[in-house]
Amino acid sequence: MAGKKLFSTTNLVVLALIVGLGSGFYTNYTLTNPKINGLTSDLEQKTNQVTSLQTQLGALQTNYTEALSELTQVTQSYNDLAGNSVALSQYEELEESYQELLSELEELQLTNQVLVNENHDLSIEYVKLMEKYNELRVLSWTYFVVNNLRVNLTVTSNTYPSNIPITGTVNIMYLNGSPFTGRIQLLVWSDYFKNGKTSPTITVSGSTQYSIEAPFPTSVPGTYYLLVSNIEDLSGTDIATYNDLLNFRVTLQMG
C-alpha cells in the first residue's frame, strides 16, 4: 500500500523560519518605545505557539512514519499468507491489525491537516504583528559604509501629514576620519507605486543639513523610503551609484 505524503518540506521550513524570526526579534530587541513594548506579550505568545506547533508536527511525522512502517509489515504478512493454506484466525488477526493501522493513519491525516491549518492562520497573525512592530520601530537614520566612505543619513521626522519638506542631516566621512567633499542626490521612493522623486543636487562637506521641497512622488498616503541615490566627487566622478546604495533606506510615513 502506497503511503500518502502528509508532510510538506515547505510547511516545516516555514515553521522553522517563523521561529527563527521570533528568536531574532527578541535577541535584537533593544528599543524603548512604549508602543513597541505593548507588542511584546503578543509576539511572545505567538512565538511560543509556533514553537509548540513545530514540536507537534515533528512528533506527528514520527508517529506517521512508525505507523506506515507497521502497516507495510502487516500488508506484507497478509500478502504472504494469501498464497498459503492458513487458519482463518490468522487472516482475521491480520485483517484486524490492518484495519486498526488504517484507522490510525486516517486519524494522523486529520490531525496533520488541523495542525497545517493552525500553522497557516498563526503565520498570518504573526506576520501582521511583525508588520505592526516594524511600523512602530521605524528608525530616523541609516548608516552604512561604501567605497571607503562612512555615510549617516538622518531625518528630522519619520512622519509627514502631507507633501511637506523633508529635512535632516547627511554626514559623509572617509574611513580615516577626514570629511568627504562632493555632491549627492537623495531619492524618495515608493515600493508600492514603483516610483520615486529625486532631490536637486546637494553639495556636502562632512556634515551637511538638507531640505527637500515637495519630496513625495505621489500625494497618496502610505509608506515611502528616503535614500542616498548617488555620491560623486567635485569633479563629477561617481563614488557610489544607485545600485550600491538602494538597500540603505529610512522609512517615512506620509498622510
How many CB atoms within 10 Å of residue 55? Answer: 11
Whole-number Cα distances in Å, 223 to 42, 135, 157, 226 = 24, 9, 13, 10
Each residue's pLDDT tens digit, 243-255:
999 999 999 999 9
Sorted by where each begins, the domain ranges of the chain are: 9-136, 141-254
DSSP 8-state code for residue 39: T
Which bin fits 222, alpha (ψ -120 to 50), beta or left (φ > 0)? left
Going by C-alpha positions, the residue among 253, 30, 247, 71 that lies closest to residue 146 is 247
Each residue's pLDDT tens digit, 32-82:
345 556 666 666 676 667 667 667 777 777 777 777 777 777 677 666 665
- What per-residue confidence (pLDDT) applies to 181? 98
The residue among 29 and 130 whose pLDDT is bigger is 130
- What per-residue confidence (pLDDT) applies to 35? 55
Each residue's pLDDT tens digit, 74-104:
677 666 665 565 566 666 777 777 788 778 8
- What per-residue confidence (pLDDT) applies to 77? 67
Domain at 141-254: CATH architecture: Sandwich (2.60)
Provide the mean pLDDT of the chain: 78
CA-CA-CA-CA torsion for 65, 69, 75, 78, nearest 10 degrees? -140
pTM: 0.50
With cell 521605524, the residue in question is 138
- What per-residue confidence (pLDDT) applies to 91? 63
Instruction: Return d(Cα 59, Cα 229) in angstroms, integer.
Output: 51
